[in-house]
């Protein structure tokens, strides 16, 4: 029979379904199977030892899909990356893509669509909650909250506004009691969490100048850095703080710090970023600020940025970068400055109360610039 006649030769299968097979005419001699469903999709028999069946997609990318052999008949998609990971197309309305893990537990992971590419794990409980795998060495499991408070840690009974910025640095909101514990972190739960996860290896930094709490909750391992809300620490306090953290971290590789102000964003972010620079995890103040904001903000729940809040706070992180790189963690030499003029813009109350006397105390401090 001439080769050209092979194009039209079909082979009837002998299975119960009576499916029809068509010999391909390409160079590989692959065998195609015409389906009997309404869609008329075309299936391709693989040539590997397992004899898995692949389905050619009809989309523009021409991706190859693999029909699973389980009872559910789920459809898997072979990735085209070097790792050859296998992806599973979900059957929900969102069409999310799931990735089968290669570990012994065979757990199912969901690839997120955000810029960070974080990996999410679908829980198997009745509520169908979604868990987020952390990227730290301990492999802690995080659960995304359904409210607007930002990152949450919820596992084994914990429900806290708390973020692991790094393996050894925790940012959180104020450990509260009474009515405030209804919408902030209950102090007893924070203590229980730290005692459970980091027993005898944590130190808490309270940055609130406006309020404190009984340090006995944290076994008296509480340090204070007094910073007013929406304000900045002094340069001296920043140097004292980093020296204390450096000593604590060097004492034991298991030691961690938990830092908080009121909301766990502005003042907390300022000193977290200061430590990231001091410990050489970041060289640039801006990079550390961006990283903290990314870790503290849950973009899947709210578009509101949850990082360092005020320009002065960001500026002081930059000041610390200069002190570390140019002045060897020392205050630069003092300078005498002469004020030539003061201009005041739009101070509320002056028009309503023109007789108001403005008194101010000008505190001169060292001016640090990144250029000579």
User: pLDDT of the chain along its 372 residues, tens only?
Assistant: 344 444 444 443 444 444 544 444 444 444 554 444 334 444 444 443 344 444 443 333 444 444 444 334 444 444 333 333 444 433 333 334 444 333 333 344 443 333 333 334 433 333 333 343 333 333 333 333 323 333 445 545 677 889 999 999 999 999 998 887 777 889 999 999 999 999 999 999 999 999 999 999 999 999 999 999 999 999 999 999 999 999 999 999 999 999 999 999 999 999 999 999 999 999 999 999 999 999 987 655 555 667 898 999 999 999 999 999 999 999 999 999 999 998 887 766 555 555 555 555 555 444 454 443
How many CB atoms sit inside 10 A of residue 14's CB?
7
In contact, 248 and 257? CB cutoff 8 Å: yes
Any residues with CB less than 8 A from the CB of 256 and at least 6 apart, and which? 167, 168, 169, 170, 198, 201, 202, 203
Angstrom distance (rounded) from CA 59 to CA 194:
50
Note the pLDDT of residue 317.
98
Note the pLDDT of residue 361.
54
Angstrom distance (rounded) from CA 224 to CA 219:
15
Residues linked to residue 204 through DSSP beta bridges, in sequence order = 222, 258
Pairing of strands 202-208, 256-260: parallel
Note the pLDDT of residue 343.
87
Angstrom distance (rounded) from CA 335 to CA 342:
19
pTM over 0.85: no
Instruction: From residue 346, give the alpha-carbon distance in Å to each of 302, 349, 350.
Output: 33, 9, 8
Note the pLDDT of residue 210.
94
Note the pLDDT of residue 354.
55
Active-site choice (249, 261, 272, 308): 261
Catalytic, 261? Answer yes
DSSP H helices in 115-161? none
Angstrom distance (rounded) from CA 99 to CA 119:
9
Angstrom distance (rounded) from CA 241 to CA 224:
9
Token pair in block for residue 353: 């109360």
């Amino acid at each position: 029979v001439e080769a050209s006649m092979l194009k039209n030769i079909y082979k009837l299968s002998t299975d119960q379904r009576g499916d029809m097979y068509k010999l391909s005419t390409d160079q590989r001699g692959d065998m195609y199977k015409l389906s009997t469903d309404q869609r008329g999709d075309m299936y391709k028999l693989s040539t590997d030892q397992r004899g898995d069946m692949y389905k050619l997609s009809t989309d523009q990318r021409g991706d190859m899909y693999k029909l699973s052999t389980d009872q559910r008949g789920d459809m898997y998609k072979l990735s085209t990356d070097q790792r050859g990971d296998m992806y599973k197309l979900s059957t929900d309305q969102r069409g999310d893509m799931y990735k089968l893990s290669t570990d012994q537990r065979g757990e199912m992971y969901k690839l997120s669509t955000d810029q960070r590419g974080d990996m999410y794990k679908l829980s198997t409980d009745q509520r169908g909650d979604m868990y987020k795998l952390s990227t730290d060495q301990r492999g802690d499991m995080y659960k995304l909250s359904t409210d607007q408070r930002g990152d949450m840690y919820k596992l084994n009974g914990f429900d806290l506004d708390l973020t692991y910025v790094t393996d050894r640095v925790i940012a959180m909101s104020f450990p509260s009691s009474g009515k405030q514990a209804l919408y902030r972190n209950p102090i007893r739960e924070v203590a229980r969490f730290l005692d459970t996860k980091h027993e005898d290896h944590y130190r808490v930094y309270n940055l609130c100048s406006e309020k404190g709490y009984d340090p006995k909750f944290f076994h008296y391992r509480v340090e204070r850095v007094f910073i007013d809300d929406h304000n900045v620490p002094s340069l001296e306090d920043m140097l004292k703080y980093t020296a204390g953290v450096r000593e604590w971290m060097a004492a034991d590789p298991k030691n961690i710090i938990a830092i908080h102000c009121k909301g766990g964003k502005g003042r907390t972010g300022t000193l977290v970023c200061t430590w990231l620079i001091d410990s050489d995890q970041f060289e640039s103040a801006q990079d550390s600020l961006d990283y903290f904001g990314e870790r503290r903000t849950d973009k899947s729940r709210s578009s509101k940025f949850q990082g360092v809040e005020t320009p002065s706070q960001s500026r002081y992180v930059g000041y610390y970068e200069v002190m570390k790189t140019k002045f060897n963690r020392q205050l630069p030499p003092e300078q005498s400055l002469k004020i030539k003029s003061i201009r005041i813009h739009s101070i509320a109350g002056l028009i309503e109360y023109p007789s108001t006397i403005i008194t101010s105390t000008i505190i001169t401090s060292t001016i640090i610039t990144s250029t000579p």
